[in-house]
A = this chain, B = another copy of it.
Amino acid sequence: MTDEFELIRRHFAALTPTGDDVLRGPGDDCALLRPPADRDLAVSIDTLVEDAHFPAATAAGDIGWKSLACGLSDLAAAGACPSWCLLSLTCPAADEDWLAAFAHGFGALARREGVTLAGGDMSRGGLSVTVQVAGYVERGRGLTRAGACPGDGVFVSGWPGRAAAGLARCLASADAPDDPLAEALNRPQPRTRLGRQLAAAGVSACVDVSDGLAADLGHILTASAVGAELEAAALPVAAELAAAGSREQVRDWLLGGGDDYELCFTAPYDLDVDGLAEAGEVTVTRIGRITAGGVLQLVELEGGRSTLVDAVGYRHFSS
């Protein structure tokens, strides 16, 4: 379906920049690139399937945005600066209005982040979108999930839980255009600037929050062979999230909700979060501490003593 990819490429042409490292973009068997010699290459691939990863009623522009945002969030977690991507789009028919809207959403984020669409593929079938993203990070500075040490602080960007609350709202009513929770679900903001700051600072471990804060922090704990204590009162609760449900529901969204695309990372306990937040253009909150044990616990601190609130299983909230 070269012709149809040609169609979408025309929609994209005005919307995505052309990077210096792209020698030859779409229209050939391969894209040809010249990665900078002093950088490592970080790559990731993600597929979003209709009904599994987004409700069927999701607007085409939101699907376009989100399909790129998921990959950029992976790059952010590695501390990489986004550069180019490949898109493989499978859809039931070549509806030009739908494609234009999809390309507009995708292109808006691509332009903001300086990402070139270097190539792609288009097929007919049930709606699904695969995006492969690539970015660069200074040699040997790529962040991973391994490296958290007992005594490190646990930090999170932004206001997790809002996407899950937004999903609940969208499923209850398809018509929530100006709802910040629906916006958090449909137009997630990949924390690429923050990720690059974290790589420069050499934080000990990092992950993006796609499966839920507890589950994704769990990935760090597993890879680093450590545990963590999260302080209940320290969890950042957005005002609109607090207003959206009971206290228990809000905590479930915050610890268990996926699709937030915030960054969760570990670093020296006394890290300057304000400086980092300013450079990364997003709030950063310390929410706990890495422990030597292999478990993740939610605690309340009072007068220097911690009381167990919940033994948060890594997957407890992820279903």
Contacts and interface: CB of A to CB of B under 8 A. Distances in A.
A205 B168 CA distance: 53
Contacts of A74: 29-30
B126 A78 contact: no
A29 B123 contact: no
A118 B74 CA distance: 14
B86 A28 contact: no
Contacts of A219: 2
Nearest to A78: B30
A299 to B, nearest CB: 27
Please classify the interface of chain A as helix (H, G, I), strand (E, B), loop, or mixed, using the class held by over half of its residues.
strand
B23 A32 contact: no
Given A49-B125, A52-B124, A128-B90, A34 B41 contact: yes
Interface string A141-165: 0101100000000000000000000
Contact of A30 (B27, B33, B43): B43
A307 to B, nearest CB: 32
Contacts of A207: 29
B145 A28 contact: yes
B119 A53 contact: no
Nearest to A118: B43
A75 interface: yes
Nearest to A132: B132
A47 B130 contact: yes
A144 B121 CA distance: 17
Given A52-B124, A88-B130, A43 B33 contact: yes
Contacts of A118: 43
Nearest to A135: B30
Q: Which has the most chain B C-beta neighbours within 10 Å: A37, A40, A124? A: A40
Q: Which has the most chain B C-beta neighbours within 10 Å: A28, A48, A128? A: A28
Contact of A47 (B35, B88, B206, B223): B88
Nearest to A315: B3
Given A28-B78, A28-B145, 7 more contacts: A30-B77, A30-B142, A33-B40, A43-B119, A45-B87, A47-B88, A49-B123
